[in-house]
Homo-oligomer: A and B are copies of this chain.
């Protein structure tokens, strides 16, 4: 292992500087001992951090060895320890997961306290190949096949302090040789041989076997990871661009994307968008099932109203141009919708009537001389001017009923079913049930948000007007 190349990698690929402290996780094995020693020799400001997992009787000796090494080299040393077995039992996690969790918790806490520029760990090219092979066996996508990076932010731990892996460009045997050449005596962690069963089968059985088929296997996989990491960045950039264009809204239980932006995208991007949407609602989600994503893609490509189950209780719903990802049976009501919250009832003029989401309907009489000369055009949907002489004093505000008909302003000869108006206006079905109508006896005067009734329009004969309006309580218009 050439120290010069190591230093280049630490600077250029890991992005380390030699002014700020680097916290180095040191188990005492050849990888991490080589790492701390090489970083120190290259004049990086290292702090030695050891976490005692207390899983083996001799773990205290490892800690003392690492501490002695730090003392001998005059390097600052921090020691942590945790009740791994107890944590594993409490969190229903494997010993390995629990150990990793407590170790990283310790490392990042220390790094924050020390204002370290990074946490450095001793993963080698062999760890990379083992990791990628394990991902391959479970059919991982690009994110898994690209393996670990020289410099990376672990979302679970810190958005500011990266984890860096300067040894990723070297093999495990390089670190063993480095220790030998530099008089370092690593501890041989017995757990390497036993606890991490699956990884060890890779290391001791599968990779040597694959190397008999292709002696360049490890080198090939290592290069593959570099190429795929580049490809993944390209895909991620494309995903980000489409996400920006198609994202519409997100609440706690649901988010909405624009179907129009998504339906003609390549299937690779559609899959990525579904996975990302799921991860937005369920940040702990690691993998979205292949079949679930394919169901979602099929729904999306149909671009027709419909539903599909996604994963972990998340559902996909297409409603018009919206693709909802939601964990509730009911989609959220839009706060731009007018929705009655109480029962149907009388509505006195002048007066106000409250709706959901801080909306209100108001009504007042306006004498002829105060009617604006140029009424807003017929499409203005937040108010209606009607000829008051046509009405009794009491109006009703109520929901639509089967058979309700309505003749909108400008439609001279015939009336329409209210239900057809909903469809024409593309009002989502679940918004229709509680949408308010203003009525007088059997006649519908106005559907707030749409046009007023033709029969009650203002004419030159009008002597007094009924002015109806919807507004939000925080609107001062």
- A positions within 8 Å CB-CB of B: 136-142, 145, 198, 201, 206, 209-210, 213-214, 216-217, 219-224, 226-235, 237-238, 266-269, 271-272, 290
Q: Is A237 a contact partner of B266 (Cβ separation < 8 A)?
A: yes
Q: Is A237 a contact partner of B238 (Cβ separation < 8 A)?
A: yes
CB distance from A117 to the nearest CB of B (A): 23
Copies of this protein in the assembly total: 2
Closest to A132 in B: B136
Contact of A267 among B136, B223, B233 (CB under 8 A): B233
Q: Would you list 23 pairs from A and B whose C-beta atoms are within 8 A, ordered by A residue? A: A136-B136, A137-B210, A137-B213, A137-B214, A138-B216, A138-B220, A139-B217, A139-B220, A141-B224, A142-B142, A142-B228, A142-B231, A201-B213, A206-B209, A206-B213, A223-B290, A229-B268, A230-B268, A230-B271, A232-B268, A233-B268, A234-B235, A234-B272
Known: A139-B223, A139-B224, A145-B145. A234 touches B230 (CB 8 A): no
Chain B residues closer than 8 Å to A238, beta-carbon distance: 234, 237-238
Closest to A219 in B: B139
Closest to A267 in B: B230
Q: How far is the CA of A272 from the CA of B221 in the complex (A)?
A: 18
Known: A210-B137, A213-B206. A235 touches B235 (CB 8 A): yes
Chain B residues closer than 8 Å to A226, beta-carbon distance: 290
CB distance from A201 to the nearest CB of B (A): 6
Main secondary structure of the interface of A (DSSP, over half): helix
Closest to A291 in B: B223
Chain B residues closer than 8 Å to A234, beta-carbon distance: 234-235, 238, 266, 268-269, 272
CB distance from A142 to the nearest CB of B (A): 5
Chain B residues closer than 8 Å to A217, beta-carbon distance: 137, 139
Q: Is B268 a contact partner of A141 (Cβ separation < 8 A)?
A: no
Chain B residues closer than 8 Å to A141, beta-carbon distance: 224, 227-228, 231
Closest to A137 in B: B214
Q: How far is the CA of A209 from the CA of B207 in the complex (A)?
A: 12
Closest to A238 in B: B234
CB distance from A7 to the nearest CB of B (A): 18
Q: Is A198 a contact partner of B213 (Cβ separation < 8 A)?
A: yes
Chain B residues closer than 8 Å to A290, beta-carbon distance: 223, 226-227
Chain B residues closer than 8 Å to A145, beta-carbon distance: 145
Chain B residues closer than 8 Å to A201, beta-carbon distance: 213
8 nearest CB pairs, A to B: A139-B220, A230-B268, A139-B224, A234-B268, A223-B290, A137-B214, A230-B267, A231-B268
Q: How far is the CA of A98 from the CA of B231 in the complex (A)?
A: 34
CB distance from A264 to the nearest CB of B (A): 12
CB distance from A180 to the nearest CB of B (A): 29
Q: How far is the CA of A226 from the CA of B139 in the complex (A)?
A: 10
Which of A137, A138, A222, A227 has the most chain B CB atoms inside 10 A of its CB?
Answer: A227
Instruction: Apart from A139-B223, A142-B142, A232-B268, list 17 A-B contacts with CB within 8 A.
Output: A136-B221, A137-B220, A139-B219, A139-B221, A141-B224, A206-B209, A227-B268, A227-B271, A229-B268, A230-B266, A231-B232, A234-B234, A234-B235, A234-B268, A234-B269, A237-B266, A238-B238
Which of A141, A223, A231, A272 has the most chain B CB atoms inside 10 A of its CB?
Answer: A231
Chain B residues closer than 8 Å to A216, beta-carbon distance: 138-139
Q: How far is the CA of A266 from the CA of B228 in the complex (A)?
A: 12
Q: How far is the CA of A25 from the CA of B145 in the complex (A)?
A: 35
Q: How far is the CA of A230 from the CA of B268 in the complex (A)?
A: 4
Which of A138, A210, A229, A230 has the most chain B CB atoms inside 10 A of its CB?
Answer: A230
